[in-house]
Amino acid sequence: MKIYFCFILVVLTSSCTHYVVNDAGYIRPPKSQKFSYKKSFAGLNLSLIDTNSIYYLSNGYYYKNNNGYKKKDKYIRFYSDGRFKLQGLKDSPKIDDINNPDIGIVGYYIMKGNIIKMQIYGDIDAGSIQLEYGYIDENKNLIVMHDNPRVDFNIGYNEKKIRRLIENSPFSPDVYKKTAVKGLTYIAPNW
């Protein structure tokens, strides 16, 4: 009976995921995953997004006017073909990790004016796409809303609305500072 129960448990838990894990231990979408932003990279404004730098979030806090809950440091590396990778950090960014496309959480992005919309593939609901919206500010930094846009029925955010939602939110936005990195090389993304 124990063997039968263990067999059923293994089958049920292994068949509920819709993602694969690469050799580096990071989640990747299955080949059949559809990203609506995937084929939209032709219209990217690469004068706003710098694919030769990373966007680095450090010393951020969850709540405005409260330094009690610190966010984990992370960076985003954008590629010119509409892909990006996001990597959480325990220490400062390391060039070998930044250059390695196998390390990090992956997704696709599109831009409209200063607005950037990202589809991130993660392990939520056994593998799903999550949305993050933000904009490039006057200092060329990336400002990303804390709130998931799917909470609201109006998904067609413009820059004015994103700025208003950030202003009215009790949560601090994620402020990724554009950071030049020596030794940055291009290795084609493999997702």
Helix (H, G, I), strand (E, B) or coil at 136: strand
17 part of a folded domain:
yes
Position with higher pLDDT, 4 vs 18: 18
Using the structure block, give the residue that is written with the tokens 């448990």: 9
- Prediction pTM value: 0.81
Q: CA-based angle 78:134:140, to the nearest 5? A: 60
79 part of a folded domain:
yes
Question: Does position 110 have pLDDT exceeding 90, yes or no?
Answer: no
Average pLDDT over the chain, rounded to an integer: 80
Local confidence band at 164 (pLDDT 50, 70, 90 cut-offs): confident
Percent of the chain with pLDDT over 90: 29
Question: Rounded CA gap, 179 and 27, in Å?
Answer: 26
99 part of a folded domain:
yes
State the pairing for strand pair 74-78/53-57.
antiparallel
What tokens were used for 96? 């070998």
Structural domain count of the chain: 1
pLDDT for the residue 173? 92
187 part of a folded domain:
no
Which residue type, as a one-letter code, is found at position 71?
A: K
186 part of a folded domain:
no
Find the domain containing 118 and state its range: 2-180
191 part of a folded domain:
no
31 part of a folded domain:
yes
188 part of a folded domain:
no
Question: Rounded CA gap, 18 and 6, in Å?
Answer: 22
Local confidence band at 178 (pLDDT 50, 70, 90 cut-offs): very high
pLDDT for the residue 10? 53
pLDDT in tens, 77-92: 999 888 999 999 888 8
pLDDT for the residue 176? 95
